[in-house]
Structure 1
Amino acid sequence: MSLIPKEVVDQVLAQADITEVVGDFVSLKKKGQNMWACCPFHHEKSPSFSVSPAKGIYKCFGCGKAGNSVQFIMDVEGTSFPEAIKYLAKKYSIEVPEEQHDPEYAREQSERDSLFIVSDFAAKHFQQRLTSHEQGAIGQSYLKQRGLSSNTIRKFELGYSLDEWTDLTDAALKVGYKQKYLEATGLTIAREDGKKYDRFRGRVMFPIHNVSGRVVGFGARTLKSNDKKSPKYLNSPESDIYHKSNVLYGLFQAKQAMRMQDMCYMVEGYLDVLSLHQGGIENVVASSGTSLTEGQIKLISRYTENITVLYDGDAAGIKASLRGIDLILELGLNVNVVTFPAGEDPDSYIHKVGDTAFKTYIKEHSQDFISFKTSLFAEEAAGNPVKKAEAIKEVVASISKIPDAIKRTVFFQSCSLIFDIDEQVLISEYNKMHLQGRQQQPSGGQAQHYSAPEPALEPEPEKPASDTDVLKRYEREIIRMMINYGAKPVDEQQTVTQYMLEQLEDVEFEIPIYVKLYNLILRQFNQGYVVKGEDLVNDPDEEIRSEVIELISNRYDLSHNWETHQIYVPNEEDLLMYGIERAILRLKRMKVQILLKAELEKLRLVTDPAEQDRQLNYILSLKTFENQLGEMLGIVVNK
């Protein structure tokens, strides 16, 4: 069992606002009663991820992921229940009185959680060394020289690794962390002869956070100018919690500003992020020197569809990164570009001109990527027909990545003006590229030869639903009615739950999950309490939680425009009694039909005439009851 007390878990569940929790990871937009976004768990272009503030749940109608605030953190972080509770407790300033290093607690943690815990320890250790150790003065001097304030250093949890072989490793082992987790995160390197040493020594430490703020890795800059053997920057290796292609430096600190300003500024290095953030441009992230990846772009798209790339004045560097921007276009985001004077990068330029002038500069020099690339290549190809032809193909290749047809048309028009070439020529080149792309095999290389398509097979007729499938559907509807409307009155004396339980006294549920839920509702009712769906969203039984979320989730909301135009459309609650009675009648009729089949099978085996008569009379009475139920449902012909 977790060492987190139940009362703390209950407090977290009570205070965790599903909209706030999910809103830390995706940009939610209100539609009807719910909030909607593109799902963070699978790639989609149209939002199917719904958050219900009233019910405290999320549900993706695309991939099926669903749950409460705790489940969301578990899903998005891939972490355990205790760690998800601790994350939310920290968010809502709830104290968790449990001993972090208790042996029982340590055994309970998953391997992945252990990597997070060790990384967090390392980040705190490096911070302590920066501020409290005599060697930390070296790191502090460098950071102040780079113009970083104490507040920025603290906000980004910057630190310093001592210039000693085993400082971190010794400290971690001393408080009980296992060496295998130190090695798995890359913090400790073990040699074949059994000796071990710290990966980071004598470096300023830049903790790399995931989108929820947990430390997953480190970037480290050496301060030894005379050390030619060691790289200037050293990063953590890939691990189960650190995948460079799915992490952006500064995203945790930038995500709220990205959402509020509907813009993300993309830079290259750690210090670019820190200096711009300190200068009031908080919606800034860095790819940390790696080529931009699809995973990183999708992270940005959770918060905004607009990216402005801030390049330094290095033309070669700009050329090398153009492919990554093509990927941004391909994923449907809008890209602008800002370049700085030769020899300047965002970090140096903001310190040179100041915060206000820097903001003015990027506003005045921002241009869309296609126009930027077109101008760049046109300038290089001026006076050279061969280079001009190659440049046109390069630009058309980028335009072809844009999924929106209207945007493509606008860029073709702009490109034709800059290159002074007929727009139709560009479109023809695009069509040729598009056709070649479709003919390329996924393995890349040879054109695929298509043969005539085979005639379509006749679709197989749908198999009739089995009795079990139909029974499941009808039992599900009964439970859905009770957990959604159980406390609603059906008359002056009875609630929905009371009425339905009385009507179903002689009915036995068969589908396991609905047996479990029916018994739970009945038990709670006998104790004087009417169960609501929201009560079960946090049930410890995962099967119950999952099913209840399915039952209380609504994919569609009636547009408020209907009310605006005074068009009345009855909803389910307006016709509640009608729906309840039909649900009960359907289930009872199905039960009778199943019983009828069983009795007819028995009749085949009966040989005694008197027993046959008794069996036939019973079957006739069941048939009469089935017909009566059918008439009540408006079913004229029995199948």
Structure 2
Amino acid sequence: MSLIPKETVDQILAQADITEVVGDFVSLKKKGQNMWACCPFHHEKSPSFSVSPAKGIYKCFGCGKAGNSVQFIMDVEGTSFPEALKYLAKKYGIEIPEEKPTAEYTQQQSERDSLYIVSDFASKHFHNRLLHHEQGNIGQSYLKQRGLSAQTIQKFELGYSLDEWTDLTDIALKAGYQQKFLEATGLTIAKEDGKKYDRFRARVMFPIHNLSGRVVGFGARTLKSNDKKSPKYLNSPESDIYHKSSVLYGLFQARQAIRMQDMCYMVEGYLDVLSLHQGGIENVVSSSGTSLTEGQIKLISRYTQNITVLYDGDAAGIKASLRGIDLILENGLNVNVVTFPEGEDPDSYIHKVGDTAFKKYVQEQAQDFISFKTSLYASETKHNPVKKAEAIREIVTSISKIPDSIKRTVFFRSCSLIFDIDEQVLISEYNKMQLQERQPTRTGSPATDAAATSEPAPAPDKPVTDNDLLKRYEREIVRMLLHYPDSLLDEGITTSQYMLQELDDIEFVTPLYIQIIEFVKQKLSQGVLPVADDFINYPKEEIRTEAISLLSEPYELSHNWETHEIFVPRETDLLPYGAERAVLRLKWRNADILLKAEREKLRLVSDPAEVDRVLNTILALNTYYKELGNMLGIVVNR
């Protein structure tokens, strides 16, 4: 890894379109001048994540995350600044000059970046072995037998691990990669006696990518039919870059198709993903044999609210995975289900009937999950009243997970018809469940239980300090400096010049705002007017985040006002007035705080001369304070 020249960084920042960058991860919808979506960083049902194409920034008004294109990649991928730049450079076809890394820089690389580098090396190694080593013919024969083309093998970077104990480890160490990173990614296993060997041997390799396309782990299928001790499939262990619960196989390749078609197909295995993708169904992902997690559901929800689960034709497998779908419902997504004939799975069925017939089958057989589950349980419990009652409770439990009340009502009605039971009985059972969930578990004495059910006493409000009050007024000054630094006021000077001249004798108290003010002063002293991009791309993250937060607006004036000839003045129309008011408010608050300090001082001094001096100061400050109050239209009772 090398240092990226400043001119290349500037080129990346200039070309990176915030809408395109964020749009790769979430589905954006235009509202006013900005784009909006549900935040990818926290769970929410109503969109509060805003992207401003004009300013090149994003801001979540729910969790507070904010930044530019580079910061978004850092936030969403948990990667470093250089790695985020490399991601954007690759996306926009910008060549980063290759420089041989210095020993010092190599030593300073973070361990997380090193894990990515080692994983990428291993992926390329396995892929090379598949294509160019004589043992790779075994892997190629298997993939060919499964109907995969050379293009699919290349697109998903499939590979093969040789039937040798230390093939990858030896070559990686020879190439200069450290053993501790090979071990940390699970590629190498080290014994206490110092011996080491490859985790993956004689297996077809399925690299697992994160959303930015970096390899984070591997799935591996053995091709040794006579090896009963080894598992058929073996996955990488958890690491700092690979968390099974937060990764979906194929999502990197599928995310654009999912967003475009507003639908995600969920399958079980690696080959299901590969075969469907090759057959033109590119919006398909897999949880790789693990139970579906909330983290995986949130990944999908960035691109669509619609999931269709494609089940193998195995009744036992279907029953085992039903509870995972409740989690999808709980997160507010719409779930459809498709089952295949007995003994078939998506991979085998698409090869059996062909791409066109497969797509038609999926469209015709898809049904909503609640109806599917209801029908499944109804057929199994038709002649058993006890099991039927249990099944109804199971269905009601699933319906209770749905946050949308209208959807719940529709499903209650559908369930009542299938089970031939009064709809009100289902609703009553639902209400009973909700009541039980709200009641605490009673384990102690009556006194203990009473304490447990009572509301906790509200914590006393944190006292507002003078610095807290000043911060509010300082924040408004900084906000206007960021929004309108080069806007001309009536006096013929810019907002930046006017405010800094007027506040020359005022000392800011908020450290973050002090830094921003000093930066503005520095720019003006160089004869340059600061602009928003200076702060959006500022080296310090805390200043970038605060600047972007101040530059983001949660609301926009609707164009309908103008349509109906109702003209509402905008801030820009009253900028001279607004700038003057912001300056006066900060001066007024400063005078108030100084008055308090002098009155406190008067209480402590005893020297007559000092008392006179303090009294004169109080008199002058009080006059100044009242003058500012009159200018602001504030009635001062002092």
TM over 0.5: yes
Alignment of 1:459-470 (within 5 A): 463=463, 465-470=464-469
The answer to whether residue 150 in structure 2 is matched with residue 150 in structure 1 is yes
The answer (yes or no) to whether the contact 1:630–1:638 under 8 Å persists in 2 is: no
Deviation per CA, 1:547-575, whole angstroms, max 9, x where unpaired?
A: 21222121222233333333222222222
The 5 Å alignment of 1:567-606 reads 567-604=566-603
Cα distance change on mapping 1:386 and 1:492 into 2, 3 Å = same
Shift of 1:460: 5.3
2:59 aligns with: 59
> What is the deviation of 1:96?
2.0
Name the CA shift for 1:589/1:433 in 2 (closer, same or farther; >3 Å).
closer
CA contact (8 A) 1:269 1:286 kept: yes
Which residue does 1:285 correspond to in 2? Answer: 285
Task: Give the match for residue 485 of structure 2.
Answer: 486
1:236 maps to what in 2? Answer: 236
Listed one character per residue, the Cα deviations across residues 416-460 of structure 1 (whole Å, up to 9, x for unaligned) are: 1111121122222222222233336499xxxx9667965886885
Contact 2:373/2:395 (8 A) holds in 1: yes
1:89-238, aligned counterparts within 5 Å?
A: 89-99=89-99, 102-238=102-238
Distance 1:351 1:508, change over 3 A: same
Trace 1:318-357 onto structure 2 (pairs within 5 A).
318-357=318-357
**Secondary structure of the residue that 2:371 maps to in structure 1?**
helix
Asked if the contact 2:2–2:99 (Cα under 8 Å) also holds between the matched residues in 1, the reply is no
1:628 paired residue number? 627
Amino acid at match of 1:163: D
Q: Output the CA distance in 2 between the equivalents of 1:309 and 1:136.
A: 34
Alignment-mate amino acid for residue 394 of structure 1: E
Q: Distance in 2 between matches of 1:607 and 1:339?
A: 91
Q: Distance in 1 between matches of 2:481 and 2:458?
A: 43
| Structure 2 equivalent of residue 4 of structure 1 | 4
Partner of 2:46 in structure 1?
Answer: 46
Report the CA distance shift for 1:152/1:2 in structure 2 as closer, same or farther (over 3 A): closer
C-alpha change, 1:329 and 1:510, in structure 2 (3 Å) is: closer
- What is the TM-score with the length of structure 2 in the denominator? 0.94
Letter in 2 for 1:305: Q
CA displacement 1:1-31 (0-9 Å, x = unmatched): 9622222222222222222222222222222
Q: Structure 1 residues 383, 278: closer, same or farther in 2, change over 3 A?
A: same
Are 1:34 and 2:16 counterparts?
A: no
CA RMSD of aligned residues (A): 2.3
1:107-137 per-position Cα deviation (integer Å, ceiling 9, x unaligned)? 2221111111111110011111111112112
- Provide the residue aligned with 1:551 in structure 2: 550
Structure 2 unpaired stretches of 5+: none
The residue identity in structure 2 corresponding to 1:570 is P
Residues 182/614 of structure 1: CA separation in 2 closer, same or farther (3 Å cut): closer
Structure 1 position 537 matched with structure 2 position 536: yes
**Aligned 1:205-604 pairs, distance under 5 A:** 205-439=205-439, 441=441, 463=463, 465-491=464-490, 493-604=492-603
**Residues 216-267 of structure 1: CA distance to partner in whole angstroms, max 9, x if unpaired?**
1101111122222222111111111111111111011111111111111010
Instruction: Identify if the C-alpha distance between structure 1 residues 157 and 593 changes in structure 2 by more than 3 Å, giving closer, same or farther.
Output: same
Deviation (angstroms), 1:268: 0.4
Structure 2 distance, partners of 1:508, 1:326, is 57
How many angstroms apart in 1 are the aligned matches of 2:25 and 2:87? 14
Distance 1:100 1:204, change over 3 A: farther
Counterparts in 2 of 1:321 and 1:410: CA distance versus 1, 3 Å: same
Q: Quick one: distance in 2 between partners of 1:458 and 1:244?
A: 40
Q: Corresponding residue for 1:619?
A: 618
Checking the alignment, whether the CA contact within 8 Å between 1:2 and 1:108 is kept in structure 2 is: no
Amino acid at match of 1:273: V
- 1:617 CA drift (Å): 3.6
Sequence identity of aligned pairs in percent? 76
CA deviation map 1:23-52 (0-9, x unaligned): 222222222222222222222222222222
CA distance in 2, matches of 1:65, 1:494: 34
Q: Which moved more, 1:551-560 or 1:310-319?
A: 551-560
Question: Residue 507 of structure 1 aligns to which amino acid in structure 2?
Answer: I
User: Which of 537-546 and 161-170 deviates more?
Assistant: 537-546
Offset at 1:196?
A: 0.7
Q: What is the CA–CA distance in structure 2 between the aligned matches of 1:522 and 1:451, rounded to whole Å?
A: 58
In 1, the alpha carbon distance for the partners of 2:632 and 2:75 equals: 43
Q: 1:462 to 1:116 in 2, by over 3 A?
A: closer
| Maintained 8 Å contact 1:24/1:212 | no
Q: Give the conservation status (yes or no) of the 8 Å contact 2:209–2:250.
A: yes
Whether contact under 8 Å (2:2, 2:101) holds in the other structure is no
8 A contact 2:442–2:449 mirrored in 1? no
Structure 1 residues 372 and 100, CA, compared in 2 at 3 Å: closer, same or farther? Answer: farther
Go from structure 1 to structure 2 and tell me whether the alpha carbon gap of 1:2 and 1:592 turns closer, same or farther (over 3 Å shift): farther
Tell me the distance in 2 between the aligned counterparts of 1:439 and 1:539.
51
Summarize the Cα distance change of 1:620–1:163 in structure 2 as closer, same or farther, 3 Å threshold.
same
Deviations 1:516-548 (A, max 9, x none): 222211221122221122221111122322221
| CA–CA separation in structure 1 for the residues paired with 2:189 and 2:319 | 37
Q: Which moved more, 1:109-118 or 1:585-594?
A: 585-594
What CA deviation, in whole Å up to 9, does each residue of 1:130-181 have, x standing for no partner? 1111211211121111111111111111111111111111111111111011
CA deviation map 1:290-317 (0-9, x unaligned): 1111111111111111111111211111
Contact 2:440–2:452 (8 Å) recurs in 1: no
Greater Cα shift, 294-303 or 539-548: 539-548
Query: Cα offset for 1:367?
Result: 0.6
Q: Which amino acid aligns with 1:484?
A: H
Partner letter of residue 152 of structure 1? T
Q: Deviations over 1:369-404 (max 9, x none)?
A: 111111111111222323322222222221122121
Aligned counterparts of 1:62 and 1:118: Cα–Cα separation in 2: 37
- Report the CA distance between 1:601 and its aligned residue: 4.5
Q: TM-score, normalised by structure 1?
A: 0.94
Amino acid at match of 1:217: G
- What SS does the corresponding residue of 1:39 show, helix, strand or coil? coil
Distance 1:492 1:138, change over 3 A: same
Say which is worse superposed, 318-327 or 623-632, in terms of deviation: 623-632
Q: Provide closer, same or farther for how the CA distance between residues 216 and 100 of structure 1 changes in structure 2, counting only shifts above 3 A.
A: farther
Q: 1:609 deviation in Å?
A: 5.0
The CA deviation at 1:79 is 1.8
Distance 2:269 2:18 in 1: 34
For 2:474, give the aligned amino acid.
E
Residues 607 and 222 of structure 1: CA distance in aligned 2, closer, same or farther (over 3 Å): closer
CA separation in 2, counterparts of 1:120 and 1:67? 28
Question: Given residue 238 of structure 2, which amino acid in structure 1 is its aligned partner?
Answer: E
DSSP 3-state at the match of 1:228: coil
Contact 1:25/1:212, CA 8 A, preserved across alignment: no
Deviation at 1:100, TM superposition (A): 6.6
1:74 matched residue in structure 2: 74
Contact 2:120 2:215 in 1 (8 A): yes
Number of equivalenced pairs:
634
Question: Per the alignment, in what secondary structure is the counterpart of residue 492 of structure 2?
Answer: coil
Partner-residue secondary structure (3-state), 1:402? coil
Deviations 1:452-494 (A, max 9, x none): 965886885774x332222222222112111211211113732
Q: Would you say the 8 A contact 1:101–1:176 is kept in 2? A: no
